[in-house]
Structure 1
Amino acid sequence: MAELPELIILAGQMDKELSSKEFQQGELRQEKSLNLTADEFIQKIKGKKVIKVYNKGKWIFIQLSDDYHLLLNLGMGADILYHEPGADLPEEYQCLFQFTDGSSFSCKFWWIGRAELLQDEELPQHKATKDIAISPLDAEFTTEHFRELCGARSQIKNLILNQKKIGGIGNVYIHDILFRAKIHPKKVANTLETCKVDKLHDMIQENLKNAIEIGGLAYEKDFYGQNNGFDRDYFLVAYKEGEPCPKCGGTIEKIKTGSTSSYICPHCQEL
């Protein structure tokens, strides 16, 4: 499942390739993935030009001319792929958007993906995205801002995964973030020492930036259909149950944390 690094990479590639392109036609095969009927969707998007592409949390926002946005949510995973003019198209996809220059991009949602076309004036009321918090890589995500968030009485992992508090982090990168900060995922946020909070803030940013530099998760395709470089070898404790801790040599454990599982070193991350 794509998280912030993959979404930032994908949005950047889409912005580079699609800027100023004009929608000509499309094929929408699964109406349950849309907010409009397929015919209405195509009629409304036809003739609109791409202004820019960016991400908000785990959503891709494609700003269009005529005060519209095309929003994409990858759900539990998706292949969003660019196709040069004349290129062979994949057999499977839910959405295909074609441009006047002959290029196109397709969306194959693995599970519960979405494509929504909205007028700009609808965005402030869009239920799925209106409350998404700032990204941990935004300039506004300062240590002071994070200290305020950590004044909550929720468990620290739940706080970080809450998209209304921090936008874009999911249950992939969080394990190593907490391990590097030496914090147990069940630790209550407002019981953390200030130095621990500041360390955690730095680890969040360092881990995400590192993942972007490497190219994102190896099992996620980018806009060009390439698998990237962040594979299992880059993880420290995540998905390594039963293996030795890279710091102390103790055994990495998998524990239940609410509705998710967590990978920890019980010696380095005491509760």
Structure 2
Amino acid sequence: MFNSWIAVKSPNFLLTCSNVTLAIVLPPSGTNIVTQLYDALLKKQEKTSHIFEIRPINDRIFVPNKDGNMPELPEITSRAIEMNKELTGKTIQAFEVLQPKCLNVTPDELNQFLNHSVIDSVTHHGKWIMAHTTQGWLLINLGMGGEILLVNRKQMPAKYKLVIDFTDQTCLAINFWWFGYVHFCALDGLTNHPMIAKLGPNVLDLSEEVFTNLIKNQKGKVKAFLLDQSRVAGIGNAYVHDILFMAKLHPNRLIASLSATEISALFKGIQDGLRPSLTKGGAFYEMNLYGEKGGFQMEDIIIGYRENTPCPQCGAPIQKIKTGSTSSFICSTCQPES
């Protein structure tokens, strides 16, 4: 899965399939080409085990070195909790779709399937927000970033790609920075959804025993494992550096070389790396349902994106290193490769 930029001069987009990342350089008029490519990859994905991602290099996306950070488990979990609180019991009146490409059905079909349905609950799986209604699932993925805002129709935000109107005059305004999804799924169809069906379990839902049994049977490197959404879902580039630092593990460590103590430390690192942000409603570069920024600030990040600053534990300078097609922030003293 994608987790960081590669060093290419002035690319507009990055395309990733499995562990291969390609830089795409296009003029602004070339965006339609990327959209067409994205659609083709989604169709291909339905027939393969690969998960594709295309991401823009966009100044709106957080971090000093312009690493691309999608909403991750703390942000998506926070949105799902907020939506479950606010939307449960609401009746969908209509959908206004300004970006039909985000749908897996036509706008008319979406209205036909879900109009007059009542939202029973809202949960999430990985980076998908899942609203269970009386007539089917409404699935939302913010993709490369965006906002989901609960507003009144008379107080709409400046930008949105899709609006869900409710019978109580409130609405959900959804905006994607670039690509995102709003999918319909039949009540019994989640196991056949081409993207959700491939996801591993939510990483924070795992007990230490289950996590240990899961990881000890895996191959490859520890960072690649954490970022592979088909193995465990929810971790991305924003949090993985601190998780590995707290576990004292180099991102290139082979899973097969991990001791029981190190696996336990990794489990604890995942908890300590994600739960503080979840408690604060997610990262500061993402907006909640009410238009407020998340409370997890840049100063809450321990070593991620802090190249050349002293390690908070040993004082050695934090390094930015190449790990495959991605970059990682590490303390080489606290996280030896061997």
What is the aligned counterpart of 2:151 among 83, 101, 121? 83
- TM superposition shift of 1:165: 1.3
* Secondary structure of the corresponding residue to residue 172 of structure 1: helix
TM-score, normalised via structure 2 length: 0.77
Q: Which moved more, 1:127-136 or 1:73-82?
A: 127-136
Whether the aligned pair in 1 keeps the contact of 2:126 and 2:202 (CA below 8 Å) is: yes
Q: Which residue of 2 aligns with 1:125?
A: 192
> Is 1:45 equivalent to 2:45 in the alignment?
no
TM-score, normalised via structure 1 length: 0.95
> Is 1:249 equivalent to 2:315 in the alignment?
yes
**1:215 & 1:61 partners in 2: Cα distance?**
18
Segments of structure 2 that go 5 or more residues without pairing to the other structure are 1-69
Q: Which residue of 1 aligns with 2:90?
A: 21
* Secondary structure of the corresponding residue to residue 238 of structure 2: coil
Describe the superposition over 1:200-229 as per-residue Cα deviations: whole angstroms up to 9, x where unpaired: 111101221111112210010011110011
Describe the superposition over 1:112-146 as per-residue Cα deviations: whole angstroms up to 9, x where unpaired: 200001112221111100121211221x4323432
Letter in 1 for 2:295: G
Segments of structure 1 that go 5 or more residues without pairing to the other structure are none
Whether the aligned pair in 2 keeps the contact of 1:72 and 1:116 (CA below 8 Å) is: yes
Whether the aligned pair in 2 keeps the contact of 1:143 and 1:198 (CA below 8 Å) is: no
Matches within 5 A, 1:23-172: 23-66=92-135, 68-84=136-152, 87-138=154-205, 140-172=206-238
Identity of aligned residues (%): 37
Letter in 2 for 1:125: N
> Is 1:220 equivalent to 2:289 in the alignment?
no
Whether the aligned pair in 2 keeps the contact of 1:23 and 1:100 (CA below 8 Å) is: yes
**2:155 & 2:325 partners in 1: Cα distance?**
41
Describe the superposition over 1:72-117 as per-residue Cα deviations: whole angstroms up to 9, x where unpaired: 0110101011114x54101211110000000101110112200001
Q: Which residue of 1 aligns with 2:6?
A: none
Q: Which residue of 2 aligns with 1:179?
A: 245
Aligned pair count? 268
**1:256 & 1:62 partners in 2: Cα distance?**
39
**2:202 & 2:232 partners in 1: Cα distance?**
6
Q: 1:45 to 1:148 in 2, by over 3 A?
A: closer
**1:144 & 1:212 partners in 2: Cα distance?**
22
Whether the aligned pair in 1 keeps the contact of 2:95 and 2:107 (CA below 8 Å) is: no
Describe the superposition over 1:217-244 as per-residue Cα deviations: whole angstroms up to 9, x where unpaired: 0010011110011111011110111111
> Is 1:207 equivalent to 2:273 in the alignment?
yes
Letter in 1 for 2:126: G
- TM superposition shift of 1:55: 0.6
* Secondary structure of the corresponding residue to residue 227 of structure 1: coil
Q: Which residue of 1 aligns with 2:13?
A: none
- TM superposition shift of 1:26: 2.1
- TM superposition shift of 1:198: 0.5
Whether the aligned pair in 2 keeps the contact of 1:147 and 1:194 (CA below 8 Å) is: no
**2:260 & 2:212 partners in 1: Cα distance?**
10
**2:322 & 2:187 partners in 1: Cα distance?**
41
